[in-house]
Amino acid sequence: MQTRTLGQSGLTVSAMGFGCMGLNFAYGPGLGKPEAIGLLREAFEAGVSFFDTAEAYGPFTNEELVGEALAPIRDQVVIATKFGFENGNAQAGLDSRPERIRAVAEASLKRLRTDRIDLFYQHRVDPKVPMEDVAGTVKELIAEGKVKHFGLSEAGAQSIRRAHAVQPVAALQSEYSLWWREPEQEVLPTCEALGIGFVPFSPLGKGFLTGTIDVNTAFAKDDFRNVVPRFSPEARQANQVLVDLLGEIAAGKQATQAQIALAWLLAQKPWIVPIPGTTKRHRLQENIAAAEVELHKDELRQIDDALAQIQVQGDRYPPHLAARVGK
């Protein structure tokens, strides 16, 4: 697989990463440990070198899974994890106090079975803690060799600039896809100006852009999408027009809808690295193959023109979660 460098950080990763959250968290029943470890190692064998996890996924169990899976190949991969929630629980509120950041780093190192965290993200901006204190704490961890690079997730332009002034930000991770293009307004231009890489999570619209979800799809009771307004039956029905458009383009390229959605992201900037996740081997191979799908300028223009005629329905988060992003 081709590689990409995240901005000016010097951090080089596979052009397609792997978002590990869904292996055992947030999207209903996950995989058993042997199956999940096998899938992660298969991703590596297929060329993926960039794996994304967080203490909050589980909490804690996702990091343990990733650590066990990647331990034999640790020096050949880049592992990203995150801090920022009280006691590692995303439901408990935000906590990016310096002492908490340090505690998370130590615990994550043990769970990940490693001596350094390649990319350490603040999971969400904590309004109670000055960004300078957050960046300064990670800067100290970098000086100590426990962390290699600093990242932010779902941060707004002002927070990005404040953090970057203290400790260079290697990457910003935020939702970005054909059905959520808000980062194009301020965040992507800020990243470009400062030389920061961009890592889109949910690059397939939490599965919707694959074409496998329709108005009749029923999610497991513990699936996060049950509370997402964009996945209400009415929104799914209205948004089907976007999936149909992807299907038309994919047919002409002998590709799948998911591959077109991922190829579109790769075509936006050379420092963008999507991290699709999956629990299925055939989806893993499909996602990886998207890195070989090239969309030409006229095809990209066709997609943009068509998208301009489509109004995606439904908020991407319920209000209590929407309040945590873009700070």
pLDDT of residue 29: 86
Mean pLDDT of the chain: 96
Model pLDDT for residues 98-154, shown as the tens digit of each residue: 999 999 999 999 999 999 999 999 999 999 999 999 999 999 999 999 999 999 999
Residue 52 parent element (H or E): strand 50-52
Q: Is the pTM of this model over 0.85?
A: yes
Q: Which domain holds residue 69?
A: 3-322
Q: Closest Cα partner for 206 from 238, 176, 240, 173?
A: 176
Residues 11-65: tens digit of each pLDDT: 999 999 999 999 999 998 899 999 999 999 999 999 999 999 999 999 999 999 9
Structural domain includes residue 85: yes
Q: Is 121 a catalytic residue?
A: no
Q: Is residue 286 part of a domain?
A: yes
Residue 25: how many other CB atoms lie within 10 Å:
21
Q: How far apart are CA 248 and CA 255, in angstroms?
A: 10
Predicted pLDDT of residue 203: 98
* pLDDT of 144: 98
**Region of residue 9 (left: phi > 0; alpha: psi -120 to 50; beta: else):** alpha
pLDDT value of position 179: 93
Residue 314's domain is classified under what CATH number?
3.20.20.100
Please check whether residue 268 lies inside any domain of the structure. Answer: yes
- Where do we find the tokens 């999610």? 219
Q: What percent of the chain has pLDDT over 90?
A: 98
Number of domains in the chain: 1
Judge whether 223 lies within some domain.
yes
Catalytic residue of the set 57, 121, 176, 317:
57
* 196 part of a folded domain: yes
Q: How far apart, in whole angstroms, are the C-alpha atoms of residue 62 and residue 77?
A: 17
Residue 28, pLDDT score: 86
Q: Distance between CA 309 and CA 285 in Å, rounded?
A: 32
327 falls within a domain: no
**Sign of torsion over alpha carbons 327, 123, 10, 132:** positive
Does residue 219 register a pLDDT over 90? yes
Q: Residues 242-284: pLDDT tens digits?
A: 999 999 999 999 999 999 999 999 999 999 999 999 999 999 9
